[in-house]
Structure formats: structure tokens, C-alpha cells
Chains A and B, each alone.
Chain A
Amino acid sequence: MAQIRLVNVCKRWGSYVGVDNFSLEIADAEFLVLLGPSGCGKTTTMRMIAGLEESTSGEIWIGDRMVNGMEPKDRDISMVFQSYGLYPNLTVYENIRFPLRVRNVPKAEHDARVMRAAEMVELGPLLDRRPAALSGGQRQRVALARAIVREPNAFLMDEPLSNLDAKLRVSTRAQIKNLHHTLKTTTIYVTHDQIEAMTLADRVVVMNKGQVQQVGTPTEIYDRPANTFVASFIGSPAMNLIPGHIAGGVFGADGMQVANLAAANGPVTLGFRAEDAQVVSDGGNIQAPVYAMELLGDATLVSVRIAGALVAVRAPKDFRIDIGAPLQISVPLSVVHLFDASTGARIAL
């Protein structure tokens, strides 16, 4: 168990920057999620911590050791790969035992530890099978068991659920959460799925194009996104973002007006979430014809097009309206986020 510290870590391939100046402190026993779109450098960051990739510059500390240049085996971390990386020629039992074997853990302990790890992920009856004879979910659990069979400094998990079907994903997610609660091992978890991030994380790091966009608890990230990227990446549907201008405290865009904003004059992007606004019959901030209506089951999503952006709002589940009919939407001042039009950074209100 250990805390992990990254100081100005960079990874470049030639002129291509994979990870740019990444600094972060991960507390002992924390569950940290790296979240971002595909290709943003999450895996690379994790692999640099594991020692599978050398950082171009910067320092990586695990506990009180700087691990730059250290072999993966000496960093004492365990990792769950996206495609599991099980040894096809070994049985489930031998797969789980493998780390103990190569790390020269006394033979006498092996059986008990393998059994305990297998128990924790409910693999009991499968121990004699080979990976090829397992389902995706079962392989995933073998990979988890292999990671927890020893007590490493940290767990690294790279999109461990992405190869599972939707239902299995939910149950395995819960299992991972529970395991972390039991073992209290520092965990770094990579995903591009914001729901996984929100449900699992103590803290989330949102990344884009190799750069950290925001670090915070799931609530912070959801409630106060640091910039338009985070705002549009977190939440489903994505936050509505409307380009416009502030003049005398009034936000104006084609088809939309919000008054009483304590912000300087100039171009801005205004954001609000679909669930924070209401369809009203009169006096809304937005007036536009309906563009589309989608039934979600527990609600109805109605969208309009203003200022070149698609704006969605959540209406009650029995709300119905024709496409093209005029619609009014009220956006309370308290749910409005403002972002700088050029940098995208959040403007404090």
C-alpha cells in the first residue's frame, strides 16, 4: 500500500505528445479514475506508472521510492489489462498463482492465498479450467484474482470492463467497488465511460489530448466543470453549450436570453444541463421550434436548435409535442455555467 506521486510527467514519441506535464498526488487507499476520450493518454499514463513505458521526463514516486528506470517487477504493482492478458497455457489456478511463483513467495502459502483470491471473485468451481474455456466475465474475474493474490502497492486497471456486455459490466463494477472497500489498496482505474468513473471514483482525473483538464471528486466535476471539455464530456446527455455575448449582464444569443449575470461584457459560452431546465408555457429564456423529441422511458428529451447548437431539455415522461411546434424553455440563473469563449475555461459567477 502506498501513495503515488507524479511530478511533471511527459511522454513524447518524436514530436507527438502522448502525455503532457502530468502532475498528481494519489493518496494511499484512494480510488482514482482516469477519464477521457479514447486516445487521450490514459493508458500511457498508467503504463508509465507500471513501468511498461518509460516517461520522457518527470518523476514517478511510489511510496517513498522514485521508480523512474525501475523494472515493472520491482515496482510491485499489479495490473488488470483490457484484454485480461491471461496465460492461455495455464489453468485458472496456475494463472492466479503465477505472481506468487515468480516472486518467490514461499510455496506453503500459495494454496491458501490463491483460494482466498479466487473466493473473493467467486471463481471457486473454475480453478481447473483453462482461459479458453471461460466466458468474458469469468476471464475478467481471473484477471482480478491474479491482481489481488499478492498485496501490491497499487492496482492499475485499464478499461477492465470494456469487453463485457452491459449487464455484466454493472455487476462487475459493483464487485470492483466492493473489493476496493475490502482491500483498501490504492487503485488507478482507466476508463472512457463517465458512468464508471462517477460510480467508482474517490477522485476523477479528466484528461484530453494528453493534458489534465480537471481533478476532483465526481460531484465537483459534475457540478463545477472546469472548462467546456469537461462540461461536455461528463453527464448524459452532454451539457448544452451555447455561444453568445454578454452585454450589460445579459447573455444573448440567437433565440436565447439570460439576464442578471455578473460577468464582464464580451463573447462567452453558456452551459446548462438538460435536467436543470424546464419546458414552460410562457416566459422562457429560449424560444425555438422543436427539432426532435426522444422518449427515454423515465423522461422525454426535447431538443431545439439555437445559435448553431443543439439544446436538449428534460421534460416529464408523458410530455408530447410535435416536431416544428414552438417551444419555450426556462433556464434558472442558478444552473447556468459560463465559460470563456476562446479558452473554454470556467468563468466564476
Chain B
Amino acid sequence: MANTRPLALRGLTTGFLAIWLIAALFPFAWTVWGSFKVEADFFSRESWWFAIEGTRTQAQTGGSFTLAGYEGAWIKNEFWKPVINTLIVTICVTCISLFVGTLGGYALARSGQRYAFWILIAALVFRAMPHITLVSGYLLPFFQLNIWGVLPTTIVVLVAINQPFTLWMLHSFFLSIPKDLDESALVDGCTRFQAFRMVIMPVMWPGVVTTGLFSFLLAYNDFAVTSMLLSQDNQTMIPKIASFLGSIQNEGNVMYAVAAVVSATVPLFVLVLFFQRQIVSGLTAGAVKG
């Protein structure tokens, strides 16, 4: 067959792919494994075999694995509090973003007017704004209004910051639904909103799920907004991890931070595991059409 490749090329391809996969996976595997060791193993000056076999861990705790890091993070440092905050923030941000975004994305997809185009362009520019520059604009007004530091403020801000992206993505999903469908509904007796709710949304849900995933990721991965807008008590996971570094690292309890980092990574892995197809389709949605 004409498609068989020369052996050398095949070897090269496989080798390259293997290197990439190791580069992609190894840091996570290493950190997860190491999170069950003591610091002297995780940061072993002598030999990285210590980290694999857990020599010091055995010496210090009696077993090759220890939950000391997780215990320190979750119980001593109450990591469960930021986890709950993260849960609240991400769920609220995702739901509100989707609600607001589907309405707006639908309007943008169905209006051929010039202003709809300009709103999309403005959204593109907003999408490129570094979040921290916006944050520096929030702080003073939020202090003045006395709404700094609480979860609702952060949720609303994250929803707004997510909007440009959400609008673009949903808009391109709505474009793929034929206009005939809305118009049938209008003629059959629906108002615009009924058509949107009864006819368009039921066929739109794959797009909504995909966009929801990305809204979730944006909220979950955010550091700039959550670290600046939340007070110490209301912190979510990522800023909490950052503040661990400041406080714990010096006290020699860096393993708490490692455990917290692993804890924050696991949900992401699960997400990719279950929604790989949607993530891939979402990433390519804008690209293939644009």
C-alpha cells in the first residue's frame, strides 16, 4: 500500500510521540506520587530514587506512603473551606454565564444588524484584556461600595469576564442551528422567547454543555480575580494554594501545598476524562468556522 511509511519515519514518529506523552504526563504522575511522601523524599538532594521508593518516608512514618500532606492541608489548614468556596463560585459562574450567554449569543447569531457585528468585535477585544488590569479597576470602586471580599462580587465579576468568550462560543453554536427552526416556531405562534426556549434550546444543549465546560474551567483556573477580590476567609482553592506558598513553605510544610495542588488537579483530570470529546469540539468550534 502507498500509505505504509518507511521504518525510519515510523520510528521517529513513535519516538517523538512517546517523548511528548512523557513530557505531558510525567510532571503530574511525579507530583501525585510524591504527594504521598515526606518532604525529604519529595525534595531529595541525594537521589530521586528516594522519591520513588520513599526511603525517608519509611524512616519517618514507618510506611512507604503517608497521608501527612493531605492531613495537613485538609484538616490542619482547613483546605475544605476553599474547596467549598470554589464549588460555589464555579457552579454559580457556570450557570449564570450560560444563562446570560445563551440569551446574548442567540441574539447575536440571529441579528444580521451592524451593531451585532460591533458587539462581537468589542467582545473580541474584551476577551484579550488581561484580567489583572481589569481587577486594578475594580478594587477602588469595590472598596468604596463595600462589596469587596465576598463571593457574590467575585461571581459576578467572573461571569462578566467570561462573557466575551461565552458569547463568541455560543454564538457560533447558535449559527449552526438553521434559522428555519426559529422562524417555523414564530409562524406557528411562538413569541421570540418561546421560540428560544421551546425550540432552539432543546437542540442546543451539546453547545451549552461544551460552553459550560469552558466557563467552568475559566472560573476554576482563575487566579487574578479570585486572589485580589476575595478576603482571606472567602478564598477559593487557587489563591489559597498561592497563600500556602507564602506561609507554609517557610515553615517547612511544603508538602501541604503539594497535597493541595494534587487535590486541585484531580477534578480537572476527571473532567477531561469524561468530557474529552466536548473539550476538543469546543476548542475547534471557533477555529474551524473562523
Interface string of B183-222 (1 = CB under 8 A from A): 1111111110010001100110000000000000000000
B184 contacts across to A, CB distance below 8 A: 79, 81, 85-87, 146
B181 contacts across to A, CB distance below 8 A: 85, 87
Q: Kindly count the residue-residue contacts between A and B in the assembled complex, taking CB atoms under 8 Å apart.
A: 61
Tell yes or no: B252 within 8 A of A by CB.
no
What's the Cα separation between A87 and B177 when bound, in Å? 11
Interface string of A172-185 (1 = CB under 8 A from B): 00000000000000
Question: Chain A nearest CB: distance from B189 CB in Å?
Answer: 4
B186 near A52: Cβ-Cβ < 8 Å: yes
A72 near B187: Cβ-Cβ < 8 Å: yes
Which stretch in A19-27, A95-103, A212-220, A252-260 binds the other chain? A95-103
Tell yes or no: A77 within 8 A of B by CB.
yes
B186 near A89: Cβ-Cβ < 8 Å: no
B191 near A85: Cβ-Cβ < 8 Å: no
Tell yes or no: B178 within 8 A of A by CB.
yes
B189 near A85: Cβ-Cβ < 8 Å: no
Chain B stretch 165-185: residues in CB contact (< 8 A) with chain A: 178, 180-181, 183-185
- Name which of A52, A72, A83, A156 has the most chain B CB atoms within 10 A of its CB: A72
Interface string of A66-93 (1 = CB under 8 A from B): 0000011100011101111111110000
Tell yes or no: A1 within 8 A of B by CB.
no
A89 near B203: Cβ-Cβ < 8 Å: yes
A85-B181, A88-B203 in contact; A52/B187 too (CB < 8 A)? Answer: yes
A156 contacts across to B, CB distance below 8 A: 187
A83 contacts across to B, CB distance below 8 A: 178, 180
Cβ 8 A contact of B189, one of A82, A86, A88, A99: A99
B180 near A73: Cβ-Cβ < 8 Å: no
A88-B203, A89-B202, A89-B203 in contact; A99/B188 too (CB < 8 A)? Answer: yes
Cβ 8 A contact of B190, one of A77, A79, A102: A102
Tell yes or no: A114 within 8 A of B by CB.
no
A78 contacts across to B, CB distance below 8 A: 187-188
A72 contacts across to B, CB distance below 8 A: 183, 186-187
Tell yes or no: A50 within 8 A of B by CB.
yes
Residue of A nearest to B183 (CB): A52
- Name which of A85, A86, A98, A156 has the most chain B CB atoms within 10 A of its CB: A85
Chain A stretch 17-71: residues in CB contact (< 8 A) with chain B: 50-52, 71
B186 near A71: Cβ-Cβ < 8 Å: yes
Q: Could you say which interface size class chain A belongs to?
A: 20 to 34
What's the Cα separation between A50 and B180 when bound, in Å? 13
B191 contacts across to A, CB distance below 8 A: 71, 73
B194 near A102: Cβ-Cβ < 8 Å: yes
Interface string of A96-128 (1 = CB under 8 A from B): 001100110000000000000000000000000
A146 near B188: Cβ-Cβ < 8 Å: yes
Question: Chain A nearest CB: distance from B187 CB in Å?
Answer: 4
Question: Chain B nearest CB: distance from A1 CB in Å?
Answer: 17
Question: Chain B nearest CB: distance from A71 CB in Å?
Answer: 7
A102 near B188: Cβ-Cβ < 8 Å: yes
Chain A stretch 216-275: residues in CB contact (< 8 A) with chain B: none
Question: Chain A nearest CB: distance from B198 CB in Å?
Answer: 7
B187 near A102: Cβ-Cβ < 8 Å: no
A87 contacts across to B, CB distance below 8 A: 181, 184-185, 199, 202-203
- Name which of B181, B187, B191, B198 has the most chain A CB atoms within 10 A of its CB: B187
A99 contacts across to B, CB distance below 8 A: 188-189
What's the Cα separation between A83 and B184 when bound, in Å? 11
What's the Cα separation between A78 and B186 when bound, in Å? 10
B188 contacts across to A, CB distance below 8 A: 73, 78, 98-99, 102-103, 146
A103 contacts across to B, CB distance below 8 A: 188-189
What's the Cα separation between A85 and B202 when bound, in Å? 14
A51 contacts across to B, CB distance below 8 A: 186-187
A71 contacts across to B, CB distance below 8 A: 186, 191
Interface string of B20-37 (1 = CB under 8 A from A): 000000000000000000
A85 near B178: Cβ-Cβ < 8 Å: yes
B187 near A50: Cβ-Cβ < 8 Å: yes
A85 contacts across to B, CB distance below 8 A: 178, 180-181, 183-184
What's the Cα separation between A82 and B180 when bound, in Å? 9
A85-B184, A87-B184, A89-B203 in contact; A102/B198 too (CB < 8 A)? Answer: yes
- Name which of B186, B189, B194 has the most chain A CB atoms within 10 A of its CB: B189
Enumerate 7 A-B pairs (CB-CB under 8 Å) in ascending A order.
A50-B183, A51-B186, A52-B187, A72-B186, A84-B180, A87-B184, A102-B189
| Nearest 5 Cβ contacts at the A-B interface | A85-B184, A85-B180, A99-B188, A103-B189, A72-B186
A sample of 14 more A-B contacts (CB under 8 A), given A71-B191, A73-B191, A103-B189, is A52-B186, A72-B187, A82-B180, A83-B180, A85-B178, A85-B180, A85-B181, A85-B184, A87-B185, A87-B202, A89-B202, A99-B189, A102-B190, A156-B187
